Chain A
Amino acid sequence: MTLKVENIKVAYGMIEALHGVSFAVADKSVVGLIGSNGAGKTTALKAISGLLPLSGGRITLDGRDINGLAPEAIVKLGIVHVPEGRRIFPRMTVRENLDLGAFTRHRDATVERDLGWVYELFPVLKEREEQLAGTLSGGQQQMLAMGRALMSKPRLLMLDEPSMGLSPIMQDKIFDLAREINASGTTLLLVEQNARAALELATHAYVLDTGAIALDGKGSELAHDERVRKAYLGEE
């Protein structure tokens, strides 16, 4: 699985939010996308998952163009996007949410097996199986959102700000789980404002600045880059 984003442009009405962004996500890697508010991180993810049309450039998965496909077709190809703010279905039970994650798949034994795996990863979801998702805590909702996405059996999991609004302990837990998901063979594309944690996890990272890639490199290298440390890690 290789995702390539080549020189993409995305505009909201008259305003262009991405002015030609390129990056690549290699198989089984963790790629971090960091940058400040409004840099275009979420826009890039929405373009990949088919929610926003491109006004230029192309996105390929294993050499095949995926721009212009409907979101459901992209999920079927194995790319799933966990949106910012979790966006679970609040008036459905935990179990129903997970079930919808497997919407594009044929019902068979592998779905049951993946459900078992998701419950193993997130035991709290098993405990609260019949509870309405809207009554879960923020951290539990984030786990549900990730579990729901995993139910589609993705090859590439895109996480948009998974740590947002969570306590530091819960943030650590979410990043540990992300690492575990990657270790099981799922490629990750991680968008984060918490640059430190993202760079720690990422095998490769890109820094987005006002709609363009400003820097890129290995996660550990960027964490020591002076510009990154000043601008995003809050160090002098």
Chain B
Amino acid sequence: MDILLQFFINALMLGAIYALAAVAYTLVYGILEMINFAFGELFMFGAFLVVSFMLPQVSLFGVMVPMPGLPFLLAAPLAIFIVAGMGYLIERCAYRPLRFAPRLAPLITAIAVSVALQNLAQSVWGAQELAYPSFFLLEAKPIQIGGAYISMVEIAVIVTAAVVMTALHFYVKKTRMGRAMRAAAQDVEAAALMGIPVNRVIAMAFIIGSGLAALAGIFYGAVYLFAHPHMGFMPGLKAMVAAVLGGIGNIRGAMLGGIVLGFAETFGAAYLPNGSAYRDAIAFGILILLLLFRPQGLLGTRLPNRLADRGAMAFKGSASAIDAGLARLSAFFAGRDLVRYASWGILAVVAVSVFFIFPSPYWARVFVFVLIYALLASGLNIVVGFAGLLDLGFVAFWAVGSYFTSILFVEVLAKGYGVDVSSVWWLFYVNLLLGGGLAALFGMMLGYPTLRLRGDYLAIMTLGFGEIIRLVATNWVDLTRGPMGIRGIPVPSLFGYKLGSPVQLYLLGLVLLALAVFLIALMVRSYLGRAWVAIREDEAAAEAMGINTARYKLYAYSAGGFFGGVTGVFFAHSQQYISPLSFTLFENILILMLIVLGGMGTLAGPIIGAAIWVVFLEVARDMPFIQQHPELRFMALGVLLVVLMIFRPQGLLGQKRQPLMMS
């Protein structure tokens, strides 16, 4: 009984934190129908700022800086105020220029902003945890209720959350601005016609939302006693789940969703078999079940994306100075057939001769990574670039391929049956197909429940799927050896001749990439590609034209999954070691960014994006400035992507349009 009471208190506290952040997501979604992924990072900034203000001195950019050492009750409002200002600036600079852009654009921008902010925090405060200084809430004695204890921090969290939520409820219901917010959420254009200053309303939603996220982060930090650059990531995702759970766009729903999630997580971790290991998966499991059976959420009345007919990715080129130069380059890649084949030929020659130019095995190894990323990006590009479905769970397919071949070779054949793996060298080639096929099956499984969803919901659903696969890989130790990973995966070989050197692996990867691009080009230029692009441009119109959109979306997922799986098999054998650390959401986001960088919905774009990024990573390694702040590279990528989405959404070398017919 006592323990139940204790869990109850913990659940309520956690739920209150989720609820605060969930309201932030829901406020913005309600009006703009976009998921501001950056709230997770603003949550983290709230915690960092409050700690910084409370300490006498803090190391910023590696330099000790004296700080005011404010009391908590002053530091917290100040931190919230600053984060609210950041939220306003983000909206103004990154999202507002994209107000009328295709749906995917603000979503990808939000992800890029999130990456940039996270790495900015790491630059400023470093990668270590920053401990909370002691203050009155932490020093106070916990209160005993029956056999359970409730700390002052927990009381403060629950009470403050209740007060803030009540205030917000009245603000939205009763005040002029609140009513304007509700009107804008129902019909932005009609609200503007009634004289409601829509831009101000939207800015207000971001300011309030960012403040709430900061408050949640401050409390979260106070409960766990630290601030860290990655601390906002998981709670941010879960708050997003809570918002969807309650019915996104619905403020009371978000509060309820947060509390429900707090309870589900606390009690699930305590009572489900192996619950604490799968704690983080509970939220995503609930999410997937919810989206299957009640996608509008607990209190929601509307299905998401009434604006889905805005079209997905029909980019117009924007006229800018950079454009002219890049356009010429694009024309080179896009131009007439002869030019196109010639440019592919040149690319191929460059690719083959790369290791003559960079003869060291070190560079060959780097280029193996270029190929792996190029393969992954090409696979994801089918789903995102051609079919216009944002997929944040793509790494799961990569993981499936990697684990499939590794478990088969190492755990089953070598350890289970004592087979000499060099005698079954051909199995690697079979596994390329089997691993790809298995991942394609997973793609179907992922695709099926998401068929009814569009845009943002799809993104969250795939994200949940990807996280679950990663958590299974981490925690199902008997199968995957957990965080230790699987070692000793044999290198690929041909008739007993080992292809173990970096250059050999590079050539093998190049063959795979060439095959992949060839197959993707065939698909894209068949009825498949035309159906995908039709879905991307206007799903309703595609349906009206007799395209079975559900089926073609499934094909897109399984085709993308297939190449993800194939890459996984190649990855495992070329690295000879895999662990769950390779298959993170961050990796997925990175692959997505590489596609955007090179050019979505093109054949060469993903390859170019991967080459630019991986080579840049290596070159930057030698710069002393980067050596001190390695995270700046990722921050720069995030900022670059935001700029790209605004000024050149078709990517660096992306041609304006991929031909969809055989010519």
CA distance A87 to B193 in the complex (A): 10
Q: Do residues A89 and B196 form an inter-chain contact, with CB atoms below 8 A?
A: no
Report yes or no: B190 in contact with A71, Cβ–Cβ below 8 A.
Answer: no
A103-118 interface bits toward B, Cβ cutoff 8 Å, 1 = contact, 0 = none: 1100000000000000
Given A99-B179, A103-B176, A103-B180: A90 and B193 interface contact (C-beta under 8 Å): no
Pairwise interchain contact B194-A91, C-beta atoms closer than 8 A? no
B191-249 contacts to A, CB under 8 A, are: 191-199
Q: Which of A82-103 contact B (CB under 8 A)?
A: 82-83, 87-92, 96, 99-101, 103
- B180's nearest neighbour on chain A, judged by CB, is A103
Q: How far apart sit A72 and B189, CA to CA, in the bound complex (Å)?
A: 11
Tell me the complex Cα distance, A148–B192, Å.
13
Quote the shortest CB–CB distance from B199 to chain A (angstroms): 8
Is B169 among interface residues, defined by CB-CB distance under 8 A? Answer: no
B478 interface residue (CB < 8 Å to A): no
A14–B317 alpha-carbon span in the complex (Å) = 11
Most chain-B CB neighbours within 10 Å: which of A50, A71, A104? A71
CB closest chain-A residue, reference B186: A89
- The residue on B at minimum CB distance from A151 is B194
Residue of B at shortest CB range from A160? Answer: B193
Q: Mark A144-159, 1 if CB is under 8 A from B, else 0.
A: 0000110010000000
Closest chain A residue, CB of each to CB of B302: A91
CB distance from B91 to the nearest CB of A (A): 17
Give bound CA distance, A90 to B301, whole Å: 12
The one of A75, A80, A81, A100 in contact with B180, judged by C-beta atoms closer than 8 angstroms, is: A100
A234 interface hit (Cβ, 8 Å): no
B139 within 8 A of A: no
Q: Any chain A CB within 8 A of the CB of B187?
A: yes
A49 to B316, CA, bound (A): 26
Q: Does A1 contact B (CB under 8 A)?
A: no
Contact partner of B194 among A14, A70, A100, CB < 8 A? A100
Cβ of B596 within 8 Å of any chain A Cβ, yes or no, is no
Within the complex, what minimum Cβ distance (angstroms) separates A91 from chain B?
A: 6
Counting CB contacts under 8 A, is A168 at the interface?
no
- A99-B179, A100-B179, A103-B176 in contact; A91/B186 too (CB < 8 A)? yes
| Interface flags, B160-180, vs A, CB<8A=1, else 0 | 000000000000000010011
Contact indicator A152/B195 (Cβ below 8 Å): yes
Chain A residues in 8 Å Cβ range of B192: 50-51, 71-72
Report whether B186 and A75 are in contact in the complex, using a CB–CB cutoff of 8 Å: no
A96 to B180, CA, bound (A): 10
Q: Is B183 an interface residue (CB 8 A)?
A: yes
Within 8 Å of chain B (Cβ to Cβ): is A227? no
Known: A87-B187, A100-B180, A100-B183. A49 touches B193 (CB 8 A): yes
With beta carbons under 8 angstroms apart, the residue of A76, A90, A99 that contacts B195 is: A76
B179: contacting residue among A71, A72, A90, A96, CB under 8 A: A96
A89 and B196 CA atoms in complex are apart in Å by: 13
In this assembly, does A13 line the interface, its C-beta being within 8 Å of a C-beta of chain B?
yes
Q: CA–CA, A104 to B194, complex, Å?
A: 8
Name which residue of chain A comes closest to B193, CB basis.
Answer: A81
- Complex Cα–Cα for A76 and B230 (A): 47
Q: A13-B316, A91-B301 are known contacts. Are A72 and B195 too (CB-CB below 8 A)? A: yes
- Choose from B176, B194, B301 the contact partner of A148 (Cβ within 8 Å): B194
Instruction: Decide yes or no: A71 and B195 within 8 Å by CB, A91-B186, A92-B183, A103-B176 being known contacts.
Output: yes
- Docked complex Cα distance between A149 and B180 (Å): 15
Verify if B182 is at the interface (C-beta below 8 Å from A): yes
| Selected contact of A75 from candidates B183, B189, B195, B199, CB within 8 Å | B195
Count of interface residues, chain A, beta-carbon cutoff 8 Å: 29
A103 B190 Cβ-Cβ under 8 A: no
**Contact partners of A104 in chain B: CB under 8 A:** 195
- A92 touching B194, Cβ below 8 Å: no
A91-B301, A100-B179, A100-B183 given as contacts; is B193 within 8 A of A80 (CB)? yes
Residue from A99, A100, A101 having most chain B Cβ neighbours under 10 A? A100
> Looking across the interface, which residue of chain B has its beta carbon closest to that of A89?
B186
Q: For residue B193, which residues in chain A have a CB less than 8 angstroms away from its CB?
A: 49, 51, 71, 75, 80-83, 87
**B199 partner residues in chain A, CB cutoff 8 A:** 70
Please state if B190 and A70 are interface contacts (CB–CB under 8 Å). Answer: no
B186 with A90: CB separation less than 8 A: yes
Chain B: interface secondary structure? Answer: helix
CA distance A148 to B193 in the complex (A): 11
Q: Measured between alpha carbons, how far is A21 from B10 in the docked complex, in Å?
A: 66
In this complex, which of A14, A72, A80, A152 has the most chain B Cβ atoms within 10 angstroms of its Cβ? Answer: A72
A99 — which chain B residues lie within 8 A by C-beta?
A: 179
Provide the bound-state CA to CA distance between A83 and B301, in Å.
Answer: 25
Residue numbers in B under 8 Å from A70 (CB-CB)? 197, 199
Q: How far is the CA of A148 from the CA of B191 in the complex (A)?
A: 11
- Does A92 lie within 8 Å of B195, measured CB to CB? no
Q: Are B189 and A101 in contact (CB under 8 A)?
A: no
Report A-chain residues with C-beta under 8 Å of the C-beta of B183.
89, 92, 100
Compute how far the CA of A100 lies from the CA of B186 in the bound complex, rounded to whole angstroms.
Answer: 13
Chain B residues lying within 8 Å of A87, measured Cβ to Cβ, are: 187, 189-190, 193
Report the minimum CB–CB distance from A99 to chain B (whole Å): 7
Q: Which A residues touch B195, using CB under 8 A?
A: 71-72, 75-76, 80, 103-104, 152
Closest CB-CB distance, A7 to chain B, in whole Å? 24
Min CB–CB distance B194 → chain A (angstroms)? 5
> Could you tell me which residues of chain A, from 11 to 43, have a CB within 8 Å of some CB in chain B?
13-14
A89-B187 in contact given A71-B193, A101-B194 (Cβ < 8 Å):
yes
In the bound complex, residues from chain B placing their C-beta under 8 Å from that of A88 are 190
Q: How far is the CA of A71 from the CA of B191 in the complex (A)?
A: 10
Q: Which residues of A contact B196 (CB under 8 A)?
A: 72, 100, 103
Chain B residues in 8 Å Cβ range of A76: 195
CA distance A131 to B502 in the complex (A): 72
Q: Given the complex of chains A and B, what is the CA–CA distance between A91 and B254 in angstroms?
A: 18
A101 vs B183: C-alpha distance when bound (angstroms): 11
Shortest Cβ distance from residue A130 to the other chain B in the assembled complex, whole angstroms: 15
Residues of A within 8 A of B176 (CB): 103
Contacts of B190 in A (CB 8 A): 83, 87-89
A83 to B197: give the CA distance in the assembly, Å.
17
CA distance A50 to B192 in the complex (A): 9
Closest residue of chain B to A88 (Cβ to Cβ) is B190
* Minimal beta-carbon separation of B130 from chain A (angstroms): 43
Residues from chain A with a CB closer than 8 A to the CB of B194 are: 75, 80, 100-101, 103, 148-149, 152
Closest Cβ neighbor of A71 among chain B residues: B192
**Distance of A152 Cα from B195 Cα, bound (Å):** 8
Chain B residues lying within 8 Å of A148, measured Cβ to Cβ, are 194
Contact of B182 among A49, A83, A92, A101 (CB under 8 A): A92
Chain A residue nearest to B195 in the complex (CB): A75
Q: Which residues of A contact B316 (CB under 8 A)?
A: 13-14
CB distance from B172 to the nearest CB of A (A): 12
Q: How far is the CA of A81 from the CA of B199 in the complex (A)?
A: 19
How far, in angstroms, from A100 to B179 measured CA to CA in the complex?
A: 8
B187 nearest in chain A by CB position: A87
What are 21 contact pairs spanning A and B, CB under 8 A?
A14-B316, A51-B189, A71-B192, A71-B195, A72-B192, A72-B195, A72-B197, A76-B195, A80-B194, A80-B195, A82-B193, A87-B187, A87-B190, A87-B193, A89-B183, A89-B190, A92-B182, A100-B183, A100-B191, A103-B194, A148-B194
Known: A89-B190, A90-B186. 20 other contacts (CB 8 A): A51-B189, A70-B197, A71-B192, A71-B193, A71-B198, A75-B193, A82-B193, A87-B189, A87-B193, A88-B190, A92-B183, A100-B180, A100-B183, A100-B194, A100-B196, A101-B194, A103-B180, A103-B194, A103-B195, A104-B195
Nearest 5 pairs of A and B residues by beta carbon? A75-B195, A104-B195, A87-B190, A71-B192, A89-B186
Binding site for A on B (CB under 8 A): 176, 179-180, 182-183, 186-187, 189-199, 301, 316
